[in-house]
Amino acid sequence: MPTPHEAEKQNTGPEEADRPPSMSSHDAAPPAAPSRNPCCLCWCCCCSCSWNEERRRAWQASRESKLQPLPSCEVCATPSPEEVQSWAQSFDKLMHSPAGRSVFRAFLRTEYSEENMLFWLACEELKAEANQHMVDEKARLIYEDYVSILSPREVSLDSRVREGINKKMQEPSAHTFDDAQLQIYTLMHRDSYPRFLSSPAYRALLLQGPSRSSSEA
């Protein structure tokens, strides 16, 4: 008579007998390389996610240290009543005023188009750069931040201007983005500036002028 252990072996089917020793759930082999799949979600659609993340971090750090589109003097500037009134005379006067640019930028932020001002200011900074190495670096940052279709802060440029920039980026200069800057300047002038003049923020500044002057008198 077979022992209980032998009976258990006899009741085991052929498939079970040929199967290697089972593994517990925590010993099971991991799925085939699922960790590579998230790579398809990268902006570059490549398989170098970690490298790409480091590169984007480098761009962010470089932009913050080398491109300061809104200097502290613009943040702290207090416009006079006459200066505030002059902003309604022309878009040029608004853009030539540090305080005006600051107020206008805050307005653009409410319209989710702040990147237009940031791009224009970055181009102004680039044109003031004399060191060719810094010109190359800043031009690359401007391209990645505001011209590349992969950027969340891409500005609206037509195909002609984009093609011109792509050619000029082979040998960047301080004037690589001149056509693009003019196009964005025109866009802000035509679309955003009229709404800014009728905005509550600008009207509030106009109302503050006379009361402040009378209190000082």
Domains and CATH numbers, the chain: 87-207 (1.10.167.10)
Q: Model pTM? A: 0.64
Looking at every residue in the chain, the average pLDDT score rounds to 76
pLDDT band at 2 (very low <50, low <70, confident <90, very high): low
**pLDDT of the residue at 98:** 94
Which strand (E) or helix (H) includes residue 183? helix 178-187
Q: Which amino acid is at 102?
A: S
**C-alpha distances in Å from residue 98, one per residue of 81, 84, 121, 178:** 15, 11, 11, 21
Cβ 201 vs Cβ 105: under 8 Å? no
26-30, 126-130, 157-161: the lowest-pLDDT one: 26-30
Runs of H (alpha helix) within 67-131: 72-76, 81-86, 91-95, 98-110, 114-127
User: Which range scores top for mean pLDDT: 46-50, 73-77, 139-143?
Assistant: 139-143
% of the chain beyond a pLDDT of 90: 59
**pLDDT of the residue at 208:** 83
Question: pLDDT tens across 194-217, in order?
Answer: 999 999 999 999 998 654 444 444
CA–CA separation, 148 vs 152, rounded Å?
9
Would you mind telling me the total number of residues written for the chain in this entry?
217
Question: pLDDT tens across 76-121, in order?
Answer: 558 899 999 999 999 999 999 999 999 999 999 999 999 999 999 9
